[in-house]
Amino acid sequence: MKAAVLRELNTSLRIEDVQVDNPGPREVLIRTGATGVCHSDLHFIEGKYNTPMPVILGHEACGTVEAVGEQVSYLKPGDRVITCLSVFCGHCDRCLSGRPVLCSSTEVLRSQAEPPRLSQGDTPIQQFAHISSFAEQMLVHEHATVKVGDDIPFEQLALIGCGVTTGLGAVLNTARIEPGSTVAVVGCGGVGLNCIQGAVIAGARRIIAIDTVETKLNLAREFGATDVVDASGGDVVKKVKDLTAGGVEYSFEAIGLKETTEQAFYLLAAGGTATIIGMIPLGTKIELDGPSLLRERRIQGSIMGSNRFRIDMPRYIEFYRQGRLKLDELVSERLKLEQVNDAFEYMKQGHVARSVITFD
């Protein structure tokens, strides 16, 4: 199959021929239908997070099951699925306590004694985030998939695999905001826009979008923001506190920077909660003024929207069918696999919500 392979940091991905193994027990082989290009992938290209190489990146995807291995009961060939990097074992303490997103069981991986899922001759190719979707096929554990219907195009389904689930989930699952709440979202890329959508669905009365790019602020309005703040002019905390008479009840950081993480905390009113979604680079330290905590302000992390994806993703699909969730509008660029490096350039320029790679 054709795949986009990363061999060195800060270099372009190369389109190469890669062998994919047959599905083993509990595994499924999927023909990739579409994959979104997420900022998380760029973090690994730039070395802000570490991954072994050579590796096939990509993790926000959907497709059609081509073959299943032994012991697979959930899927059959021909099923359409969304993949999710939050692969779960189903019986560890985290899974059984209702937090499968935190499952860390290694039984969903192949052992060192088994052949690799991806290879070139005798050389293993690393699988990224249990998925590796920048490829024509994906070989994954069945617990990295959710079965969906065939009435929604692949390019919309793919976005549910990460950006939508991360943004909506941070609001609905991690923070669990209350109807009538005041909300600020720092960063209006793909995840931030979905935080805004989550706040709309949850019934927030005031949603303040913060970014430095005018096009993203315009998108934020389209996705439901009641107010926008241009961060390029500075004084963001003051502007938000002026708008809200003292700060918001909930804030969400969707960029992954020290400055904006601290900013999200200081946007809060007394008793407020800041939820940090962005992937802050390794080694970065966050500094907060101690007395600010005395008014019961809280800061917390969120991974993949604290999802239970086999429950959450079908709900998000139904929101889309009902016209309550915007997916079409998230797709800024439609590309082919050979254009994957263009997608990262568009991302760096800061003018896209999501680029989606489609496979014919």
Catalytic residues: 38, 40, 43, 59, 162
Q: Are 237 and 262 in contact (CB under 8 A)?
A: no
The torsion of the CA quartet 26, 31, 35, 41, rounded to 10 degrees, works out to: 50
Pairing of strands 126-127, 55-56: parallel
CB–CB of 103/87 below 8 Å? yes
Q: Which residues, other chains included, contact 53 with Cβ-Cβ below 8 Å and sequence gap of 6+?
A: 6, 7, 8, 126
Identify each DSSP E strand in 223-321 by its residue range: 227-230, 248-253, 268-276, 298-301
CB 197 within 8 A of CB 181: no
The C-alpha atoms of residue 254 and residue 259 are separated, in whole angstroms, by 12
Query: What value does the CA radius of gyration of the chain take, rounded to a whole number of Å?
Result: 20
The phi and psi torsions of 103 (rounded to 5 degrees) equal: -60, 135
The Cα 89–Cα 59 span in angstroms is 19
